[in-house]
Amino acid sequence: MLESQYRSEPLLHPGPLSSPLHHGHLFPAQSEPILHNRCASPDDAAVAYHHLIAAADALEAIVAEGALVGISPTCLRSLRAGAGQLSRTDAKARDDEKVLGIVYGTMKYLHYIDIVLVKTQFLVYYPAFLSCLGLVKVVIYLHLQHHFDATRWLRFVPSAIPSRQAETIASLDESVKLHSVKLGAALARLRIEKRAVGETVRDQVEALLPFEIRIRESVSVGMHKCVRVNLLRTTPSEVSDMLRNAGFHVDLSQPPSLHETQAILSDPDFDDLLVVPASIFNDLKSHDIMTSGLLIFQDKASAYAPRQLVSLLPTHTGLSIMDARAGCGTRVAHIAALTRDKHHILAFESRTVRTATLRSRLDAQGIKNVEVMHDDFMSANTKDPRYEHVTAVICEPACSGSAIVDKLGYMLQEEEFPADRYSTKDLVALKRQQYLTLRKASQFPNVRHIVYVTRATRRDENQGVVDEFLDMGGGQWTAVPVLPHMQPGEMFLEHLPSQSGNGIFIACFSKCVLPLSHDIHPDSVDADNTVPPAADVHSSFDSLDVPIKKRRSRATKQTERTSIARTARLSRTQLRASVERLSTTKEVSLPSLANSKRPSHVTKKLVSNDETVQDRDAEGRGQETTNRFEDDFDFIILGSSLKHFFAPRNDALGVIATRRAAMRWSYPVPNPVPWK
């Protein structure tokens, strides 16, 4: 029966579910290694109704906000279980990890799930599920792993959830089964287009992913994990003794190696980091040492920026440090541990659920010197007395995340899912927001140091933003070397993603303090050697010795195009603005051209010859443009993901509306049963 369905293309015949053999050009299908224990039970394959509901809520929250905001407590528990923040005795730990695995897999295949839904018009045939699109995509992902094969249909186990949700899941599963022939055909056409072949069903599904993502998945499977020792509560030697007593093999004298798979080693660069092989991280993450806050799951790339910031601070206490985008508190907690609670830290986070997560993590790790600011950093008042003692700001704005290899590990650490697909408009908006964040940090009166961090490999987000900030700063800021003892002669720290860890880019700026020199007296300046300012643009033009060209004697033929009245002579204010605009360099004009927007339909302000009013209007127009762009940035980054996520539903609604319009009778109404 199965072979007859794929008679035209034998390679599309679904292979066995699992096989120890793999093609040489394919990667082993072993995703999400840190989500599963080493000894799997037969019940791991069962998916219950509450797993589907929790995964659907998490998926919609991730896409809607770009982070886990407004998410259910069940998915937050799943993230904390995967990051080693829930104990082994917790009865729901395994269920939470299963939810996280479903969410991660659905996000990974989200693009192909949307294609299958649109091509088969599943939501057109079953419009009752338009309101639960997240649940539809989760169910489609689970059945896509088996090629929508009826003989291998995945059964969902009923659980204790509201009866209405249970009826929805049962009806959705039955509808997908009735539509399985079209869904399987769409998947087969997609496999032909992507040339996705493999020996097993899972290999064939994995082959749908782009080559770069498959390389990243294969590398992240065996990538070593890093855990940070909480220096506020313990020391590396005490932690090593506790790990040995727990049965782990610890060797702090041996340098880390990619071939070491059984021993916990010490990091050669940072004494508070331990390198844990991926094979034993599953056993360590649920141990009491991690759940009690003595060890914190943190990759090595995120440990560079806090150390650079701490190296710039003076030895005396009483200073204030600001984090422009604290997130869940990984970076803030590391800074607090390095400073030993000597300085006051202000952590900005505007999202409510992330703020609650930040506070809970700080309490669990015993950190007392961090003040959580439930506010947007871009809207903070720089003249507020609370910020007058801030001397250093660390900024890690939103970026493309192209330097992140272990995306699941990053999701566990930061509770954010870095997207894989960005349009050109998104990338331009990202760069603009990164520059605005740096400019906002430089506006605080007593700030002397700014640390800029991105998780991207694109030059526009790294060196491009740095150059733009230095050019627009007017010489007030200068770049200083980042961790010069680790990389002598280098100005920036740039680590590309590799098998050893994720990549990162770090730049540091210091404010230039120019001493006042009183050696030159104003009266000693020779006025004859100075250039007199031009009082009028026209007077400076008249002083030029330009030969006057003779007017052509041939009369111009008056047509509709040439009969347009001559442009009136520009006023002094307009000429001054034109000269300033034309005198700007090309390097400065390109960013403004790249970030240009369509003009709105709002009536433009009249140009005034009064310089005071004109300057005030220009300032208002600039502020209005900035606010419009910032609002558009939020729409681009978050709204773009919403647009892509709800594309199948919008397509289905469009088809349904078209069909309803076609079914309407036109006047006069034709005879439905014509005479024969």
Q: Which residues are annotated as a binding site?
A: 349, 376
Q: Answer for the pair 276, 260: CB distance below 8 angstroms, yes or no.
A: no
Q: Answer for the pair 648, 114: CB distance below 8 angstroms, yes or no.
A: yes
Q: Answer for the pair 195, 86: CB distance below 8 angstroms, yes or no.
A: no
**Distance, CA of 159 to CA of 175 (rounded, Å):** 20
Q: In the structure encoding, which two tokens stand for residue 25, read together?
A: 């050009």
Q: Provide the 8-state DSSP code for 301.
A: G
Q: In the structure encoding, which two tokens stand for residue 247, read together?
A: 């049965």
The CA-atom distances, in angstroms, between 637 and each of 116, 236, 562 are 24, 41, 47
Report the binding-site residues for S-adenosyl-L-methionine: 349, 376
Q: Answer for the pair 510, 452: CB distance below 8 angstroms, yes or no.
A: no
Alpha helix (H) residue ranges in 317-444:
330-339, 352-364, 407-414, 424-442
**Helix 180-194 vs helix 110-120: crossing angle, to nearest 10:** 120
Rounded to 5°, the CA angle 17-23-25 comes to 130
Task: Please give, one letter per residue, the 3-state secondary structure of 490-537.
Answer: CCCEEECCECCECCEEEEEEEECCCCCCCCCCHHHCCHHHCCCCCCCH
| Sheet with 225-229: strands ordered across | 249-251, 263-266, 273-276, 225-229, 295-297
**Distance, CA of 432 to CA of 426 (rounded, Å):** 10
Torsional sign, CA 20, 24, 26, 32:
positive
- DSSP codes joined into one string, 120-149: HTHHHH-GGGGGGHHHHHHHHHHHHTTTT-
**Distance, CA of 506 to CA of 484 (rounded, Å):** 12
Q: Answer for the pair 510, 481: CB distance below 8 angstroms, yes or no.
A: no
Give the residue from 247, 224, 250, 227 showing the smallest Cα distance to 237.
250
**Distance, CA of 455 to CA of 299 (rounded, Å):** 12
**Distance, CA of 286 to CA of 90 (rounded, Å):** 9
Give the residue from 96, 37, 103 showing the smallest Cα distance to 68.
103
**Distance, CA of 289 to CA of 84 (rounded, Å):** 9
**Distance, CA of 332 to CA of 101 (rounded, Å):** 28
Q: What is the H or E stretch that residue 250 is in?
A: strand 249-251
| Position 640, amino acid | S
Q: Provide the 8-state DSSP code for 303.
A: G
Q: Give 83's contacts (C-beta < 8 A, 6+ positions apart).
A: 285, 297, 412, 413
**Cα dihedral 601→607→610→611 (10° resolution):** 80
**Distance, CA of 106 to CA of 56 (rounded, Å):** 10
Q: Answer for the pair 361, 388: CB distance below 8 angstroms, yes or no.
A: no
| Position 182, amino acid | K
